[in-house]
Amino acid sequence: MSRKVPKRVFLTEDQMPTKWYNVRADMKEQHDPYINPGTMKPIELEDLLPVFCTELAKQEGDCQTRYFDIPEEILDFYKIYRPSPIVRAYELEKALDTPAKIYYKFEGNNTSGSHKLNTAAAQTYYAKKQNLKGLTTETGAGQWGTAMAMATAYFGLDLIVYMVKCSSEQKPYRKAVIETFGAQLIPSPSETTNVGREILKNHPNTGGSLGCAISEAVEKAVTTEGYRYVLGSVLNQVLLHQSIIGEECKMQMEMIDEYPDIVIGCAGGGSNMGGVMASFMQDKLLGKTNPYFIAVEPASCPTMTRGKYAYDFCDTGHITPLAKMYTLGADFIPSPDHAGGLRYHGMSPVLSKLYHDGFLDEARAVVQTEVFDAAVQFAKYETILPAPESAHAILAAIQEANKCKESGEAKTILFNLSGTGNFDMGAYTAYREGKMKNYVPSDEDLAQGFASLPKIPGIQE
Amino acid sequence: MSRKVPKRVFLTEDQMPTKWYNVRADMKEQHDPYINPGTMKPIELEDLLPVFCTELAKQEGDCQTRYFDIPEEILDFYKIYRPSPIVRAYELEKALDTPAKIYYKFEGNNTSGSHKLNTAAAQTYYAKKQNLKGLTTETGAGQWGTAMAMATAYFGLDLIVYMVKCSSEQKPYRKAVIETFGAQLIPSPSETTNVGREILKNHPNTGGSLGCAISEAVEKAVTTEGYRYVLGSVLNQVLLHQSIIGEECKMQMEMIDEYPDIVIGCAGGGSNMGGVMASFMQDKLLGKTNPYFIAVEPASCPTMTRGKYAYDFCDTGHITPLAKMYTLGADFIPSPDHAGGLRYHGMSPVLSKLYHDGFLDEARAVVQTEVFDAAVQFAKYETILPAPESAHAILAAIQEANKCKESGEAKTILFNLSGTGNFDMGAYTAYREGKMKNYVPSDEDLAQGFASLPKIPGIQE
């Protein structure tokens, strides 16, 4: 069979984008400023410097620079695993018998197994450039911790990873990979921080939480000479670095004379959706095209579909700045769900603003058994075993392709296959054995989370 | 920094080889014929048909057809994950401070995590074409079982995998992947075959062995209507399918105006080395060039470095044909070693013949702690976590690069990075915790294995 479009579209190294795109430069309205919870005033650059590398703190606040040159050293790192292919899902299309054309950007071809490496490399490089000694971070599902372990091994920095205790026990292999790359892994809560000791005193048997691990990692960074803290999602700087996904996508689709009608990403903290949509969102913001954007989240943690657009802490320890975003409340405890990377109470302020203003068209909540139905169907035909997080986007893509089958429309669908599921076999086994449950929080559960939203005099009462 | 050669060299889909290369067509002398252990006569095509698909049995015996067209359906499957990149190990070279140029062919970018998919797709396709209902096979480390599960899911055939019992317990995630793709996994020895029941009667607590799993899989295939057996290494047909690795390598190196002085692969049954060397061995056989070939094996299972060139069974159950090859004896029991894929008593008859005749220049035995030293060093600089098997080739490449540092020669080294180590974290953990031992069989251990070599009247007394 002769196909007009190849199965996989690559870019050469020379064609790889050399700039990150900052979507905020094209937004007519910016998200409300971060607020310092100590002063209840908008945050200043200086407030961020004890926590973040200087260059990254600057990127965090920059809503004017449209393109940032990617430093040569980061480009060299990217070249080890980028450009990543766009793949035409011929086999899946055939199985679905749909007139739709389905494309996926595959970001899983690296040892971390996900797109997280794009920002891990950038954040580590800037830390190295600042002559820092080391970095701290947290990890839940483990993809971010792995990406950071790889980047710090490469650039020669120390790394301390606070891994949610129950995850470090459930995912011993993730822990092993992180340690193989030379990082120090500490199950959280731990005795190494005040916040950790406090939690252990009150809850000696807790399995930990992402919010608690964030609090520990931040405390460790600000109290250790030559250390800073890094975060793998939510932040503006992360969206900036992940824009390389969208920039590549747009070039690759142009090469095959395509443009997406629908762009789909999963949404936990926003780095996945923010990455794949970047360059197409620019077109929409500039009024050039009008693609339909869908952010897919787990029904167990329905930040955009059932959350509030409000100021909130980014961590359960209440030590980070306040961000205006869609949130379920920093104290909301998501039910167990196998897409650990999407189990976060908040959402990127940029994505939240774009959703609130109608540029990000739709948020869709889905239950995990249906997500795994889609994952297994996809694996069978496309041979890639997806991460549970990425499988949220697969499910929505299949839903859209099925709509095309009904309507007869040959829409072009693009989704971000952000990672592989090689370290998620516990989840796949639970699914296969029929032991997977669909958790959906009740209105009362949500009310409890909302009750923890902070009061800000004159802004949020 | 501007580099003449990019980090990764890809081929486009249009450039992908459309033929497999059969190295036997250029060998002046063929390996001695397989012998039927029932009749002690050279095997006929008909002898193989109850075990293998007809087309594959024909390929097994064909030493004349130089190139086989790859069927369209297999090419479509290959296009999902091929062509695979050749990567210049710039970062490793820098760390080693060597004038050598190190290239690796990376075959791990697929869910099975290894090159095994190249022949799994081919063998499954021919089974489908023959209207078979299903296939049986065995797996030890699990890469082959995963590859077969993926291929049979895609082509729509049933698959029964006999997995060495201790492996299925040590590697529950490998088991889970295989089952996720819909295959039936049976820990071996099992109650489902005569040979399994016999072994269980005598050794109720055995953890099983690859030889035993092969015997069970073959018995199951020949006693089940519409089933045949498939094997992932050793066979001529496997080397034929794996030649796509070497064919791509040669094209990619030509694109960047390079040619290897040294070609390195790990060697268990031979599919890895056989694949990467194929097209360069052709040049050598035809007298065009003279690359130096190194096959690297574990010191714990030193088939080529300390084995005998003799007729032997391919399985411990003594039900397969006899092959003339380097062997430690079918009854040799390799000590525990984390490179499960290299723990095989024999060696591809083609590779054995080429080694015996001096075309394959060197076999090198290495101990596993040094293999893991190399693996972790490679991971740090090149960011890919290698399979323990592939890390044997990495170690030899580093050894050769270090020689270049001493001599000042800028040799071009190519090795096959045949797979990733994502499912081998138990091994990496043992290494990191200092619990890994280097097993080297004594001469007495070897003598025991050699004692099991069969007697063949007039040929091997």
* Residue A362: HSE in the Cβ half-sphere, 13 Å Cα cutoff: 14
CA B115 to chain centroid? 8
User: Shortest CB distance from B79 goes to which of A8, A80, A172?
Assistant: A8
B361 touching A, CB under 8 A? no
Inspect the interface and report whether the beta carbons of B150 and A383 lie closer than 8 Å: yes
CB A8 within 8 A of CB B16: no
What pLDDT is attached to residue B170? 81
In angstroms, rounded to a whole number, what is the distance separating the alpha carbons of residues A164 and A169? 9
Residue whose C-alpha is closest to residue B157's, from B187, B118, B183, B194 = B183
Residues 107-126 (B) with a CB less than 8 A from some CB of A: 109-111, 113, 117
User: Shortest CB distance from A7 goes to which of B79, B91, B379?
Assistant: B79
Inspect the interface and report whether the beta carbons of B111 and A385 lie closer than 8 Å: yes
Domains parsed from chain B with CATH numbers? 8-16+70-113+235-450 (3.40.50.1100), 43-53+115-229 (3.40.50.1100)
Residues 151-210 (A) with a CB less than 8 A from some CB of B: 153-154, 172-173, 176-177, 179-182
In angstroms, rounded to a whole number, what is the distance separating the alpha carbons of residues A75 and A71? 6
Inspect the interface and report whether the beta carbons of A422 and B425 lie closer than 8 Å: no
CB B88 within 8 A of CB B6: yes
A72 touching B, CB under 8 A? yes
Inspect the interface and report whether the beta carbons of B179 and A432 lie closer than 8 Å: yes
Chain A residues touching B181 at Cβ < 8 A: 379-380
What is the number of CB-based contacts under 8 A between chain A and chain B? Answer: 134
Inspect the interface and report whether the beta carbons of A422 and B111 lie closer than 8 Å: yes
What pLDDT is attached to residue A425? 92
What pLDDT is attached to residue B88? 98
What pLDDT is attached to residue B429? 94
B150 touching A, CB under 8 A? yes
Whether the complex's predicted ipTM is more than 0.85 is answered with yes
Unique residue bearing structure tokens 């097994």: B60
What pLDDT is attached to residue A1? 45
Low-confidence ranges of chain A (pLDDT < 50): 1
What pLDDT is attached to residue B212? 87
Q: Which residues of A419-440 are buried (b: 16+ CB within 10 A; e: fewer)?
A: bbbbbbbebbbbbbeeebeebe
Low-confidence ranges of chain B (pLDDT < 70): 1-2
Chain B residues touching A111 at Cβ < 8 A: 379, 383-385, 420, 422
Q: Å from A383 to nearest chain B CA?
A: 6
B81 touching A, CB under 8 A? yes
Strand order in the sheet with B134-139: B184-188, B158-164, B134-139, B227-229
DSSP characters over B105-140: EE---STT-BTTHHHHHHHHHHHHHTT--EEEEEES
Q: Which amino acid is at A173?
A: Y
Q: CB burial class (10 A; 0-12, 13-18, 19+) of residue B194? A: exposed
A380 touching B, CB under 8 A? yes
Distances (CA, A) of B341 to B291, B301, B424: 26, 11, 11
The pTM score is 0.96
CB A423 within 8 A of CB A116: no
The bridge status of strand A308-313 relative to strand A322-327 is antiparallel
Residues 4-23 (A) with a CB less than 8 A from some CB of B: 6-8, 10, 12-14
What pLDDT is attached to residue A2? 54
Distances (CA, A) of B234 to A257, B58, B295: 45, 16, 14
B71 touching A, CB under 8 A? no
Inspect the interface and report whether the beta carbons of A432 and B1 lie closer than 8 Å: no
User: Shortest CB distance from B380 goes to which of A117, A153, A173?
Assistant: A153
In angstroms, rounded to a whole number, what is the distance separating the alpha carbons of residues A177 and A170? 14
B94 touching A, CB under 8 A? no
